[in-house]
Structure 1
Amino acid sequence: METSLAWDVPLDKPPEIVNIGRNAHGYVASDRYRLKDLWSLHLYGYHGRLRLDGREFAIEPGMVGITPPGTLMEYRYVGLSVHLYAHFHLGAGPSQRVEALQRLGPRHDSIYARFYEGVGRFATEPRRVEARLWDLLWEVALLSRPDLPPEDELHPAVRLAMTTIERHLAEPLSVAEIAARANVSPSYLSRLFREAFGETVVATIRHRRLERAAYLLGRSSLPIKEIAIAVGLPDLQHFNKAMRTRYGASPREWRARESSSSPGSEIDHR
C-alpha cells in the first residue's frame, strides 16, 4: 500500500468548474475512469481503495484527494460510498506541490460545509463557487507545506484577525482595529503574523486585496473603478501602481491578459 504521492498543482488562477456535486458509489464493487482534460477534487466519506496509475492507497472518511488530468483512477468500494467532487480546468502558472491524498483532521467540517454549499450554489452563482473552490484548493495545498503552520495550529488571535481582514477588505483597516477584534495588542498581533506568515499584518492585507482584485478583473465584468472600491483601494492611481508592483501589469492590462487566456470568462473590457 502506497503512503505518499504528490502532484504539481497550478493555483495562480481560479479553477473553471465543469462539474461539482455529491455522488454515491458502491452499487458495484469497483469502478475505473480517466478524466482526459480535467482535474478532480474528492472529499471522501467512506472506506475503500484507490489506485492512481497503478499505485494503491487506502481511502478513509475525512480524506481529501486531488488528481490531475489523464490519471487513471481505479476504485474498490465497501458498501455505499458517498463523496463530494469537483471536476475543473486549471490554467498554467506557478505550481504548489500537493499530496494526492491527505487527512483533513479538524478542518474537515469547515471544508465539507463550504464545499457542500458550493454544490448547491453552482447553478445560480458559478463564479462565486469557483472563487470558493479556489480558496479550498489553496487550503488543501497548504496542508502539504510543512513550512507553514496548519490553520488549527495558528494562534486564535491570528484566525480572528484573518476573518476580520477577509470580511472587511472593502473598508479601511488598521492594525489597531484588527488587533482589538482579535483581543490582543497591535504589537503582539504583528509578532504573531511574522511568526505565522513571515510578513506584517499590513502586507497580508495588501496581498489579499490585490489577489481579490486580480480575480475580479479576470473573472467578472465589473468596471475597474468598482473593483478598486470593492477591495479597499479606491484611489485608482494607487490601485494601478499596486497592481503593477504585484503582477507587473496595470488593471486594464491584467484584464486583457486574463480574458485572452480564459475564453470562458465573463469579461467586460472597461
Structure 2
Amino acid sequence: MDRADLVRLRRARDRMDREYTEPLDVPALARDALMSPGHFSRSFRAAFGETPYSYLMTRRIERATALLRRGDLSVTEVCMAVGCSSLGSFSSRFTELMGESPSAYRARDHAGLAGLPACVAKIATRPVRAKEAGPSVS
C-alpha cells in the first residue's frame, strides 16, 4: 500500500472519529478516499486490522460507555445519541465488545472511575471484544 492510500485511509478514519453520530457508510467513505468500496474496505482492514464498519461501531460503543456511566439517559437514548439507528444492533455489538448488555453496564457501579482523569478512564473502559479478551487471571 502506498503512502497516499494510507493518508486517505487515515482521513477516512479521522472522519469516523469526528462524525461517529452521523450516518456513515462505506461507499461515502470510499468516495472520500478516492477508492472503490471494495478496495477501501480491504485496504482499511489491512491498514487498521478491522473493517470500517467494525471500527465505527467500536468508536460508537466507546462513546456510549461514557454516556451510560453517567446514568441520566436510557439505553435507547444513548443508542440514538451515538448514531445507531437500531437498538438491537447496538445492544448486540455492545454486548460483544463489553461482555455485558448496555443495561447491565449502565446499572453497574462506576464510582471507581469518578476520580480518574477522562483520558485514563477512557483507556480503562476501552471496548475489547469479549471473546478476544481471553480468560482472566486471578
The normalised TM-score by structure 1 is 0.37
1:255 alignment counterpart: 106
Whether the aligned pair in 2 keeps the contact of 1:157 and 1:189 (CA below 8 Å) is: no
Instruction: Please give the alpha-carbon distance, in whole angstroms, between the structure 1 residues aligned to 2:105 and 2:57.
Output: 17
Letter of the 2:11 counterpart: L
Q: How does 1:98-113 map to 2 (within 5 A)?
A: none
Over 3 Å counting, the alpha-carbon distance change for 1:153 and 1:261 in structure 2 is farther
- Tell me if 1:160 matches 2:11: yes
SS of alignment partner, residue 212 of structure 1: helix
Letter of the 1:261 counterpart: G
Letter of the 1:236 counterpart: L
Coordinate RMSD, CA, aligned: 2.6
The structure in which a higher percent of residues are helix is: 2
Letter of the 2:97 counterpart: R
Instruction: Please give the alpha-carbon distance, in whole angstroms, between the structure 2 residues aligned to 1:154 and 1:184.
Output: 9
Return the structure number with greater relative CO, CA threshold 8 A, min gap 6.
2
The normalised TM-score by structure 2 is 0.68
Structure 2, unaligned runs of 5 or more: 117-138
- Tell me if 1:194 matches 2:38: no
1:53-91 Cα offsets, whole Å, 9 max, x none, are xxxxxxxxxxxxxxxxxxxxxxxxxxxxxxxxxxxxxxx
Whether the aligned pair in 2 keeps the contact of 1:225 and 1:234 (CA below 8 Å) is: no
The structure in which a higher percent of residues are strand is: 1
Letter of the 1:210 counterpart: I
- Tell me if 1:231 matches 2:90: no
Deviation at 1:162, TM superposition (A): 1.0
2:73 equivalent among 222, 227, 231? 222
Over 3 Å counting, the alpha-carbon distance change for 1:242 and 1:227 in structure 2 is same
1:213 alignment counterpart: 64
Give runs of ≥4 in structure 1 deviating > 6 Å: none
Instruction: Please give the alpha-carbon distance, in whole angstroms, between the structure 2 residues aligned to 1:161 and 1:218.
Output: 29
**Structure whose alpha-carbon radius of gyration is higher:** 1
Identity of aligned residues (%): 37
Q: 155-164 or 255-264, which moves further after superposition?
A: 255-264
1:176 alignment counterpart: 27
2:94 equivalent among 243, 248, 252? 243
Say how many residue pairs are matched.
114
Whether the aligned pair in 2 keeps the contact of 1:157 and 1:184 (CA below 8 Å) is: no
